[in-house]
């Protein structure tokens, strides 16, 4: 009888790829996890119980065929594992690195729920596609036939790029416009290198360009080119602009120098890592070196800011969050990484103003909080503890309070562009179609600040809907 290659979770413990020691991590912006060695990847993949109804798959936004590619990895059929993995995911090695797996696939793994520890799905997914790149299996799109229809995509983040990839594969003429100088959106300039090294993003951008996608960078729609001009030029337009308006704090002292927005701080740091000459870094304005840094917020952006500050050589890094650890929105894994690297968390602490000296921030006035009754969202609302205020000294304060959409109808002079009351573009979730003819929208600009994997799903679904639409038009014309 053939040997059973799977179901090894009883005999083999869960194991992650090696994590670098915190002391060495603090010194650079390189990723913190090593790659699995082949034997280790096979061993870990073999722990999968091959469920008939795989909850990991149903909780992956892309419905990745996880049990199949785990089986193929465990049995050494890596090229087939890659083919299966990339059939449903445009950027598997990126999702493998930065998806919050504990809330998605791995959090729903049956063997995790039976107490054996989840299959390390993300790490295996990353291993499969990194190996595919190494072996030369990842090839640029080569459409079987060119088509005349063209699509303009505004925004080169994961949503826009996933759509571009799929449309180009079908032979369409695709141009991606981005106001930034590099493609990738938040993959490039939001998420720091220690979670996602930038050559991983750059090789994807190059692959798309090699496959015939045209990039128009440093091109802000609404400034360098009008939205109307794009609609005239292309048969369809996809809005994939993400959400970039930082939520702010209006309180005493909030105008002092040295209080910065998280996205500006992270963008400057990522540009610096490319070796760019960045004035805000050189002047010290957005450089944590030698400073006492306080980051306000408890989400993933705040975690990225505290860990970036540590790497820039801050003398101390504190994170203020108004709820407690159990109720923070950020990933527990990233919080633990931050703690290991020397970040101090001040839970149940909220700012009420800033002290300043000579126009520069000198401290954050902190109110201590406790959790009260659950509010309308079901979460316990923080309440102020009277008389417990104190001042947290700071030379640099970073606000990481979340993002909202920019006012696209006004910025683009398009009052008829349909938006929700939150300012996100109103679009059908399954197709991205808006009420404007030939205009689609995907990713964060539709969902509000979300996840890379959801942006990829939206981009792929939207591309399929556009193709279906073009195909029906072509069929009608041929009748």
Write down the least CB distance from residue 59 to ligand SF4, Å.
Answer: 7
> Between residues 80 and 340, which has the closer beta carbon with respect to ligand FAD?
340
First to last CA, the chain: 58
Would you say 429 and 455 are in contact if contact means Cβ atoms under 8 Å apart?
A: no
Write down the least CB distance from residue 274 to ligand FAD, Å.
Answer: 15
User: 45, 78, 99, 436: which one contacts ligand SF4 (CB under 6 A)?
Assistant: 99
Of residues 450-469, those binding ligand SF4 (CB under 6 A): 453
Write down the least CB distance from residue 60 to ligand SF4, Å.
Answer: 3
Using rule CB under 6 A, residue 101 touches ligand SF4: yes
Q: Comparing C-alpha atoms, which of 371, 401, 365 is closest to residue 384?
A: 371
User: 301, 337, 414, 424: which one contacts ligand FAD (CB under 6 A)?
Assistant: 301
Using rule CB under 6 A, residue 64 touches ligand SF4: yes
Q: Which does 212 bind (CB under 5 to 8 A by kind): ligand FAD, ligand SF4, none?
A: none
Question: In the stretch 187-226, what mask flags binding to ligand FAD with x, by CB under 6 A?
Answer: ---xx---x------------------------xxx----
* Environment class of 207 (CB within 10 Å of its CB; exposed 0-12, middle 13-18, buried 19+): middle
Write down the least CB distance from residue 126 to ligand SF4, Å.
Answer: 8
Would you say 346 and 318 are in contact if contact means Cβ atoms under 8 Å apart?
A: yes
Q: What are the tokens at 210?
A: 């090699």
Using rule CB under 6 A, residue 165 touches ligand FAD: no
> Between residues 180 and 327, which has the closer beta carbon with respect to ligand FAD?
180
User: 111, 154, 293, 338: which one contacts ligand FAD (CB under 6 A)?
Assistant: 154
Q: Which residue has the tokens 């720091």?
A: 192
Using rule CB under 6 A, residue 240 touches ligand FAD: yes
Its sign, for the CA torsion 298, 301, 302, 306, is positive
Using rule CB under 6 A, residue 160 touches ligand FAD: yes
Distance CA 454, CA 435 (A): 22
> Between residues 65 and 414, which has the closer beta carbon with respect to ligand SF4?
65
Which residues are CB-contacts of 464 (< 8 A; sequence separation ≥ 6)? 166
> Between residues 107 and 329, which has the closer beta carbon with respect to ligand SF4?
107
Of residues 20-59, those binding ligand SF4 (CB under 6 A): none
> Between residues 342 and 402, which has the closer beta carbon with respect to ligand FAD?
402
Q: How far does Cα 346 stand from its chain's mean position?
A: 25
Using rule CB under 6 A, residue 300 touches ligand FAD: yes
Concatenated DSSP letters of 31-82: -SB-PPPHHHHHHHHTT----SS-HHHHTSTT---HHHHHHHHHTT-HHHHH
**Hey, which bits of 213-326 come out as E strands?**
214-216, 236-239, 245-246, 259-261, 292-296, 316-320
Would you say 408 and 402 are in contact if contact means Cβ atoms under 8 Å apart?
A: no
Write down the least CB distance from residue 370 to ligand FAD, Å.
Answer: 29
Write down the least CB distance from residue 88 to ligand SF4, Å.
Answer: 8
User: 122, 152, 297, 351: which one contacts ligand SF4 (CB under 6 A)?
Assistant: 122
Which residues are CB-contacts of 379 (< 8 A; sequence separation ≥ 6)? 323, 327
**Hey, which bits of 115-189 come out as E strands?**
150-154, 173-177
The alpha-carbon radius of gyration of the chain (Å, integer) is 24
Q: Which does 304 bind (CB under 5 to 8 A by kind): ligand SF4, ligand FAD, none?
A: ligand FAD
Binding residues for ligand FAD (CB under 6 A): 98-99, 154-160, 177-180, 185-186, 190-191, 195, 220-222, 240-242, 266, 300-301, 304, 443-444, 450-453, 455
């Amino acid at each position: 009888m053939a040997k059973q290659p799977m179901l090894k979770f009883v005999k083999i413990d869960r194991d992650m790829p090696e994590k670098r020691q915190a002391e060495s991590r603090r010194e650079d912006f390189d990723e913190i996890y090593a790659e699995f060695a082949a034997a280790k990847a096979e061993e870990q993949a073999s722990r999968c119980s091959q469920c008939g109804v795989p909850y990991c798959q149903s909780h992956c936004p892309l419905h990745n065929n996880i049990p199949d590619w785990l089986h193929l990895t465990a049995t050494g059929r890596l090229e087939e594992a890659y083919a299966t993995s990339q059939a449903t995911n445009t950027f598997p090695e990126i999702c493998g690195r930065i998806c919050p797996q504990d809330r998605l696939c791995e959090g729903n793994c049956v063997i995790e729920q039976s107490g054996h520890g989840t299959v390390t799905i993300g790490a295996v997914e990353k291993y499969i596609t990194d190996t595919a790149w190494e072996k030369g299996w990842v090839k640029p799109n080569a459409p079987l036939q060119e088509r005349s229809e063209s699509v303009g995509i505004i925004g080169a983040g994961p949503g826009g790029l996933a759509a571009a990839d799929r449309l180009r594969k079908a032979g369409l003429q695709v141009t991606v416009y981005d106001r930034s100088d590099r493609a990738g959106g938040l993959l490039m300039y939001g998420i720091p290198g220690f979670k996602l090294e930038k050559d991983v993003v750059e090789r994807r951008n190059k692959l798309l360009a090699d496959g015939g996608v045209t990039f128009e960078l440093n091109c802000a729609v609404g400034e360098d080119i009008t939205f109307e001009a794009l609609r005239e030029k292309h048969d369809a337009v996809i809005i994939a602009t993400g959400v970039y308006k930082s939520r702010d704090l209006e309180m005493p002292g909030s105008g002092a120098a040295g209080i910065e927005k998280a996205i500006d701080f992270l963008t400057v740091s990522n540009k610096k890592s490319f070796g760019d000459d960045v004035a805000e870094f050189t002047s010290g304005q957005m450089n944590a070196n030698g400073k006492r840094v306080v980051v306000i917020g408890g989400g993933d952006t705040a975690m990225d800011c505290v860990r970036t500050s540590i790497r820039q050589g801050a003398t101390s890094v504190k994170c203020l969050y108004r709820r407690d650890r159990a109720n923070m929105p950020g990933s527990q894994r990233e919080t633990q990484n931050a703690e290991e690297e020397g970040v101090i968390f001040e839970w149940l602490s909220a700012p009420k103003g800033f002290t300043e000296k000579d126009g520069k921030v000198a401290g954050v006035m902190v109110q201590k909080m406790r959790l009260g009754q659950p509010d309308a969202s079901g979460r316990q609302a923080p309440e102020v503890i009277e008389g417990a205020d104190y001042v947290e000294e700071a030379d640099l304060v970073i606000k990481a309070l979340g993002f909202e959409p920019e006012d696209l109808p006004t910025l683009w002079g398009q009052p008829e562009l349909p938006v929700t009351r939150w300012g996100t573009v109103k679009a059908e979730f399954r197709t991205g179609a808006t009420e404007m003819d030939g205009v689609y929208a995907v990713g964060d600009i539709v969902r509000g600040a979300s996840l890379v994997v959801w942006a990829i799903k939206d981009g792929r679904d939207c591309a399929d809907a556009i193709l279906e639409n073009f195909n029906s038009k072509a069929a009608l014309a041929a009748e």
